[in-house]
Structure 1
Amino acid sequence: MFEFIRRHQRLMLLVLLVLILPSFVLIGVSGYTNFATGDKEIVQIGDSGITVQEFDQARRAQLEEAQRNSPDGFDIERYDTPAIRQQLLDNMIDQRVLINVATQERFSASDAVLRESIAATPAFQENGVFSPKLYEERLRGAGIEARTYEQSERAQLALARVLEPVVGTAHILPSVVGQLERALTEARQIRVKQFSQADYLEQVDVTDAELQEWYDKNKQSLEIPEQVTAEFLLLDEAAATASVGTPDEAQLQHYYEQNKSRFVLPARAHISHILVALTAGASDSEREQAHAKAKQIATAAQADNANFAELAKTQSEDAGSASQGGDLGWIVYGSWPAALQNAVFSLPTGAVSDVIEGPSGFHIFKVLETEPERGQSFEQAKTQIEQELRTQMAAESFAEIATVLTDLVYENEDSLQPAAQTLGLPLHVAAGITRQGLLDASQVQGDNAAASSPYWVTLNDSRVRQSLFAPISLKDRKNSGVLELSPDTIIALRVADVIPAYVPEFAQVKDSLVERLRHEKALALAVAEGEAELKRLQADNTLERVGFTPAEQVSRSDFGVFTEADLNTIMAVDTQTLPTYVGIQGADQYRLVEVLEDIPGTVSPQGEQFIAARMSPLLGNSEAQAVLQVLRQEQGVKILPAAAEEINPTSQD
């Protein structure tokens, strides 16, 4: 059941999308009472209308939003279809109808309701609580004044009063919920016998006459779309690195010293100490007394360094380490004041130092363990340093190269050769690029198939294809400009040749058609044998049944190996007499399904609650759509003939 609901979320989204009011037309009720004159209307709504200019502005805003939200590249053909244009126009009509109704009925939102709505917006909350600071920051970041936003929000709340009562009061009947749950949980116990296309391939042959006949009947399906051959310059990390020279010895040595901590671990020592503390501003006599005490302790520790820990416990005035026998742990060379550090690292392991004055008093140190400096020497790290330094140099010059490349491409609009020669970039050629993607290498003449290029991913980027098929590139053969595909990848393009769409000659496709027809004929044999056995079993279900899989259970919430359409076929079988049989043809096999048992659906409180929670919004939105249609009639909505040209223009903008 849950899987079924998940699979059908698209239905809910489609219903909701019709009710979504595009943000780029939410400028408050008052903004819709004044319209520019002289612009051609495409829809009349009472005494007002929607003009070509308004529709065009909304469409461009929608495309810009889609482009901002397309990290993998923006393809205008995907986002500017007649269906999407129609949906946008419908949204604008519904929005205008709602505005008219809200205005006529004097719907409004109080200050209290406005505050509650803004406070409940997740974008303005921190830890679930409204944050005035975050509210101001978000609006400021979007370039919107608080007053403007609040006016728009108040208008939206007023518009919501038109349909929210319909959506919010929708209730699906318990009897309907029960029927839905029974349908979702109803199951069939089945067995399957598969007739696979692959098992019949050796039984089929294809004659030249069959190939010619198939070609004559279906050659339009083989049409190769319009394609271009493109010249391009690619500036990426590899190209930028190749453009820089090899660093000299001095540069390498300097880099090593600047980054030595990455290549070398400094020496370190595990030490203990005894501290005779000295307060700030101590007198000379106090200093002498402290020094004398420290000297006495040092003499004792040096005489019996094995007893250092006990001396630290009784004599050290460092409360933090005294209880640990003076243990300070490991210290790294370079992390201490020079006087203390030099004294400690000059001692051999196990030795006790003389009295050393430090910021907090007089110290006596004992070195418990030492580890020398370790890591890569300059010579050992030299190869790595050269690679890193070249990468760094390339990154620094990338922007400069990109600027020069852009200038040269625009200054020499008819050729990429000057830019290639000036920057030392190779001029690549790639063929077989279409509006929809890259042709297979077998469909491209020559050795420059884009699909076989090491840069095929870049060439298949929708932004690259869109640029190549722009009028300035396709018709005028001018440089397409410079595209920044990522922070470290820039490409300059030019159409070198255009090949119109064509149907390949029979000889060109004959070899590929052989396999295609063999598979078609093998599938036909599989289907024929499967259908023959289906008829035998339907005529007499007492016949021996062999080759079937073990019994399994399928339902509308668990399709098993079947598609949704296949499952619907299985569920539609008459189960009054069992077993019963049904055949299902797939792309490369025929399945003979034996239905053994009809398992009725069940009803549970949890299931009813789940379905009611999911279906009530769908019902509410459907009812809201019905209300919108009535409101459209009441408001006198009339879609004018000019709208057809905007939805499906004869020529693109």
Structure 2
Amino acid sequence: MFETIRSYSRVLMYVLVPLIIGSFVLVGVDSYFNLRDGANHAVAKVDGHDIKQSEWDAWFRQQIEQFRAQAPNVDLRMLETPEMKRQALDELVRERVMRAAADKGGYNTSDERLLAFYRNDPQFAPFRGPDGTIDRARLEMAVAAQGMSVKGLEQRMREMLALRQVTLGLTGSVTAPDATTSTALDALFQQREAQVERFDAKAYATKVNPTDADIEAYYKDAAHQAQFRSIEQADIEYVVLDLDAVKKGITVSEDDLKKYYTENVKRYTVAEERKVRHILIKAGTSAPEAERTAARTKAEALQAELVKAPATFADVARKNSQDAGTAERGGDVDAFIAKGDTDPAYETALFALKPNEVSPVVVTPEGFYILQLQAVKGGDVRSFESVRAEIEDEVKKQLAQSRYAEAANEFTNTVYEQSDSLKPVAEKLKLEVKTAKGVLRTPQQGADGPLASAKLLEAVFSSDSLQNKRNTEAVETKANQLTAARVTAYHPAAVRPLAEVRDQVKARLVAQQAAALARKEGEARLAAAKAAPATAFDKPAVTLSRAKPGDLPRDVVDATLKAPSASLPAVVGVDLGDQGYAVVRITKVLGRDPVVADPKQASAQYAQAWGAAESDAYYEALKSRFKVKVMAPAATAEEKTTDTVASK
């Protein structure tokens, strides 16, 4: 009974998260993003309607928050990359295309379909009664705990189900022909017996010795110079304003701390919990009146007996209680109960008892209870001295939060108005000027703090920052944290001098020449084997499949399984690039690997893959129909910045 609210709050996370992740309603775009340069820049167009930069930003932030809700321990900085942002734009475009298709197709979700979703989707099982209907009171309680309404949830569900209909006819009706499925499964799971002779490039490395002229020619070849380019980097200094920085400048008097303690003493009181035995005589509120009356009479008789002999409570409970979970333990609930955990009437009676005292009969929706208090814990008030440090930190934190907005405004104005140095803002707000060398354009794995922010790095590598060495704008690098940076030295990407990379060039050239020797000998061996295919290789036969490639490169396995098998033995050569060469002699076709997959399951998976392929093809057709155009987002201007600065 007293676990109800907790249980449904947990369940609701599983109900809402899949719906919200598939949600197609954009959250509001805050004024900060609307005011940013380029916020109204169109990044894509679908069916004649623009997708603005601000909408893209909002969609990406929404997805980040959804990831945070699902996986609170994941470092979300790994998601704030240009690749993830572009993926978010692709998903936003897809949503708009599907929405346009749903609107043009007249798809909608009827009340009947919504009710069927309620009845059949396993996410709503905790809210369904025995007859399959949804208990809206419980659902509303759980939804409200997540800051939503049932009406809002249903609107999102209607939109999700309507958009599903756009491709349901494809993904839900695919039937793969037996012949096609069999051919595909053969390609995936077939096994072949073969002999493989490897010509490993490493074995030929000692046979080559590039000259100085060879090394210089390889280095100067335009096709190779990208291998020897240094990475674009910047040395920077930066200052950070956050709640901790504001808090450092705050002092609180002893009187104010004691006043806070007095006003919030309940926060420093350990919650009282009580352990109880009970007897339940069942008679729910929907039971006939005669049954309720008989149950009450029995409960009152037992209560009168127990008041006279409270020590017999456990025995009486074993014989009379109709609570199957506690009767055999003599009515022992076997848990401490806090206020708010259980039925209000039950709670009132329990917290009015003294140890071993028997309560009057308690009327609840389940029936009639008799309680006996076993033990009490908690209820103690911690002394001011024991919580002083905790209070001081809390008060400073609250004051810092109230003063942060003013400090943030001053920080933003100062770094802009005195843009040639960060010292003025550091001195005014008592902040530390930090430095970092070799900062790259994108966040690096393991980066921490503001340098893990893609927004800050975008500002650092802007044209104004690189060309004029001006302060960046104040960038929100996380909640309640602003950072401004200034480039002290810029190192554009450039081809490193030959003297610096000579050993690297030679190593690559040796690998290339060794691979060429391996390829030459391998091709000669292939020609000889084709001339006499019946002659066995001096190598043991191995059984290969895509599921069990052994230690062979994937290219060797693929070539073995793709080779024509009408006439065996068959011989094929495989160019492995820098790794060398391989010659394969196929001797037997063994059929499908029996341990790879159940045939029925494999067929179902193939049909599912086919349906997904058809769905993707249909989406491409819809993109053409609705004239989808994805423009280069404003962020790509950074590439021009790099070229401009490098040329100078």
TM-score (ref. length: structure 1): 0.55
Show the 5 A alignment for 1:571-610.
Answer: 571-575=561-565, 576-578=567-569, 580-601=571-592, 607-610=598-601
1:224 aligns with 2:230: yes
In the other structure, the counterpart of 2:497 is 505
Distance, in Å, in 2 between the alignment partners of 1:510 and 1:392 is 63
In the other structure, the counterpart of 1:555 is 545
- Structure 1 letter corresponding to 2:64: Q
1:639 aligns with 2:627: yes
After TM superposition, give the deviation of residue 630 of structure 1 in Å. 7.5
After TM superposition, give the deviation of residue 186 of structure 1 in Å. 1.1
Distance, in Å, in 1 between the alignment partners of 2:43 and 2:432 is 53
After TM superposition, give the deviation of residue 114 of structure 1 in Å. 1.5
After TM superposition, give the deviation of residue 179 of structure 1 in Å. 2.8
- Structure 2 letter corresponding to 1:206: P
Residue pair 1:227, 1:435 contacting (<8 A) in 2 also: yes
- Structure 1 letter corresponding to 2:559: T
Distance 1:128 1:224, change over 3 A: farther
1:77 aligns with 2:79: no
Distance 1:113 1:473, change over 3 A: same
- Structure 2 letter corresponding to 1:515: A
Residue pair 1:41, 1:51 contacting (<8 A) in 2 also: no
Residue pair 2:187, 2:561 contacting (<8 A) in 1 also: no
Distance, in Å, in 2 between the alignment partners of 1:427 and 1:136 is 51
After TM superposition, give the deviation of residue 621 of structure 1 in Å. 4.2
In the other structure, the counterpart of 2:177 is 173
Residue pair 2:533, 2:571 contacting (<8 A) in 1 also: yes
- Structure 1 letter corresponding to 2:61: E
Residue pair 2:236, 2:437 contacting (<8 A) in 1 also: yes
1:478 aligns with 2:471: yes
Distance, in Å, in 1 between the alignment partners of 2:392 and 2:528 is 78
Distance, in Å, in 1 between the alignment partners of 2:424 and 2:560 is 66
Q: Which secondary structure does the structure 1 equivalent of 2:501 belong to? A: helix
Q: Which secondary structure does the structure 2 equivalent of 1:136 belong to? A: helix
1:615 aligns with 2:606: yes
1:59 aligns with 2:56: yes
1:570 aligns with 2:572: no
Distance, in Å, in 2 between the alignment partners of 1:157 and 1:58 is 23
- Structure 2 letter corresponding to 1:185: F
After TM superposition, give the deviation of residue 496 of structure 1 in Å. 1.8
Distance 1:479 1:556, change over 3 A: same
1:537 aligns with 2:540: no
Distance, in Å, in 1 between the alignment partners of 2:45 and 2:632 is 11
Q: Which secondary structure does the structure 1 equivalent of 2:221 belong to? A: helix
Aligned pair count reads 454
Distance 1:516 1:483, change over 3 A: farther
Distance, in Å, in 1 between the alignment partners of 2:392 and 2:203 is 61
Distance, in Å, in 1 between the alignment partners of 2:92 and 2:580 is 42
Distance, in Å, in 2 between the alignment partners of 1:111 and 1:172 is 34
Show the 5 A alignment for 1:338-357.
Answer: none
- Structure 2 letter corresponding to 1:639: K
After TM superposition, give the deviation of residue 429 of structure 1 in Å. 3.6
Distance, in Å, in 1 between the alignment partners of 2:485 and 2:635 is 28
Show the 5 A alignment for 1:371-410.
Answer: 410=412
After TM superposition, give the deviation of residue 431 of structure 1 in Å. 3.0
1:515 aligns with 2:507: yes
- Structure 2 letter corresponding to 1:539: A
Residue pair 1:55, 1:89 contacting (<8 A) in 2 also: no
Distance, in Å, in 2 between the alignment partners of 1:26 and 1:461 is 22
Distance, in Å, in 2 between the alignment partners of 1:43 and 1:458 is 33
Show the 5 A alignment for 1:352-371.
Answer: none
Q: Which secondary structure does the structure 2 equivalent of 1:126 belong to? A: helix
Q: Which secondary structure does the structure 1 equivalent of 2:60 belong to? A: helix
Question: Where does the alignment leave 5 or more consecutive residues of structure 1 unmatched?
Answer: 1-19, 28-38, 244-317, 320-358, 361-388, 439-450
Residue pair 2:43, 2:632 contacting (<8 A) in 1 also: no
Residue pair 2:573, 2:584 contacting (<8 A) in 1 also: yes
In the other structure, the counterpart of 1:371 is none
Q: Which secondary structure does the structure 2 equivalent of 1:567 belong to? A: helix
1:207 aligns with 2:211: yes
- Structure 1 letter corresponding to 2:24: S
Identical counterparts, % of pairs:
19
- Structure 1 letter corresponding to 2:118: I
- Measured against aligned partners, the alpha-carbon deviations of 1:369-392 in whole angstroms (never above 9, x if no partner) come to xxxxxxxxxxxxxxxxxxxx9999
- Measured against aligned partners, the alpha-carbon deviations of 1:28-67 in whole angstroms (never above 9, x if no partner) come to xxxxxxxxxxx999868xxxx4422x45564233322343
Rg larger in 1 or in 2? 1
After TM superposition, give the deviation of residue 499 of structure 1 in Å. 2.7
Distance, in Å, in 2 between the alignment partners of 1:457 and 1:562 is 43
Q: Which secondary structure does the structure 1 equivalent of 2:543 belong to? A: strand
Q: Which secondary structure does the structure 2 equivalent of 1:600 belong to? A: strand
Distance, in Å, in 2 between the alignment partners of 1:577 and 1:223 is 50
Distance 1:392 1:26, change over 3 A: closer
After TM superposition, give the deviation of residue 484 of structure 1 in Å. 5.5
- Measured against aligned partners, the alpha-carbon deviations of 1:209-265 in whole angstroms (never above 9, x if no partner) come to 1121112213541333432112246899x999x99xxxxxxxxxxxxxxxxxxxxxx
Residue pair 1:559, 1:567 contacting (<8 A) in 2 also: yes
Distance 1:483 1:42, change over 3 A: closer
- Structure 2 letter corresponding to 1:223: R
Distance 1:143 1:531, change over 3 A: same
Distance, in Å, in 2 between the alignment partners of 1:60 and 1:206 is 53
Distance, in Å, in 2 between the alignment partners of 1:527 and 1:644 is 44
- Measured against aligned partners, the alpha-carbon deviations of 1:405-424 in whole angstroms (never above 9, x if no partner) come to 97886465243446767899
Residue pair 1:225, 1:502 contacting (<8 A) in 2 also: yes
Q: Which has the larger displacement, 429-438 or 620-629?
A: 620-629
Distance 1:111 1:485, change over 3 A: closer
TM-score (ref. length: structure 2): 0.55
- Measured against aligned partners, the alpha-carbon deviations of 1:73-98 in whole angstroms (never above 9, x if no partner) come to 443521344x7645643442232122
Residue pair 2:201, 2:514 contacting (<8 A) in 1 also: yes
Distance 1:225 1:589, change over 3 A: same
Of the three residues 461, 471, 480, the one matched with 1:469 is: 461
Q: Which secondary structure does the structure 2 equivalent of 1:170 belong to? A: coil
Residue pair 1:191, 1:594 contacting (<8 A) in 2 also: yes
- Structure 2 letter corresponding to 1:211: I
1:432 aligns with 2:432: no
Distance 1:647 1:455, change over 3 A: closer
- Structure 1 letter corresponding to 2:471: K
Distance, in Å, in 1 between the alignment partners of 2:236 and 2:426 is 15
Q: Which secondary structure does the structure 2 equivalent of 1:498 belong to? A: strand
In the other structure, the counterpart of 1:24 is 25
Residue pair 2:245, 2:431 contacting (<8 A) in 1 also: yes
- Measured against aligned partners, the alpha-carbon deviations of 1:110-145 in whole angstroms (never above 9, x if no partner) come to 433322323545555539876646633564466544
In the other structure, the counterpart of 1:112 is 112
Distance, in Å, in 1 between the alignment partners of 2:433 and 2:562 is 61
